Amino acid sequence: MNRKQRRQATFKRAARWDRNARVEPSRVLTPILMCRTFDQEEAAKISVDTRLAWHRLTHGEGNEPDFDLLANSSNVALVLAEGLQWNPELMTRQEFEAKRELAIETVLRAQAAIEAMRDRYLRTARWGADAAALADVPPMLDFYDDLLAHGSPRVMLDALEVTVKRMRVQQELEGSSHASD
């Protein structure tokens, strides 16, 4: 290989090094697609996945990813319920506050039931639901379905990021309290 061939091989514009070759034209639409509401198929898929995870957990066939999916769904529902904003054109302020508190209470009851399911799993190494879980989790799933029907991927990702931050803060607090013991 002579000098000219070596230079051509070194400075050749391969597709893997060409910054323009890697740009996908539809990539510029990603921010717009993240802000649109979920279409029916997307919302249905997410809802069905969450409900199937719930079904498997209640029938003792679930696993930790099923639990994580259900717990993350309830965390996202809580963040979004806390962030609901009043629209004076739709209802009075008192009606809104009552419905917002009901949504938060519903999710908190479901989270307590989900936590009890996890505790049961840690004790018995088997997933299952008690009466409280069977009563409290399905209304939370219905609320989550409503959030999916009116939400966007960006809103859901932002809520998930908030839940991750909350979990990190909680872990740091637990770690510091264990360190002081």
Using one digit for the tens of pLDDT, what is the confidence trace for 79-104?
999 998 888 898 999 999 999 999 99
* pLDDT value at residue 155: 92
* pLDDT value at residue 87: 87
Can you state the angle between helices 153-180 and 64-82, rounded to 10 degrees?
100
pLDDT exceeds cutoff 80 at 11? no
pTM of the full structure = 0.78
Q: How many helices, marked H, and strands, marked E, lie in the chain? A: 7, 0
Contact 70, 53 (CB under 8 A): yes
Most confidently predicted of 5-14, 79-88, 132-141, 165-174:
132-141
Give the residue, 136 or 20, on which the prediction is more confident: 136
pLDDT exceeds cutoff 80 at 179? no
Per-residue tokens: 74: 């309830």
Rg of the Cα trace of the chain? 24
CA atoms of 91 and 82, how far apart (whole Å):
18
Q: What is the mean pLDDT of residues 114-143?
A: 94
* pLDDT value at residue 15: 45
What does the pLDDT look like over 22-45, one tens digit per residue? Answer: 666 666 677 777 788 888 999 999
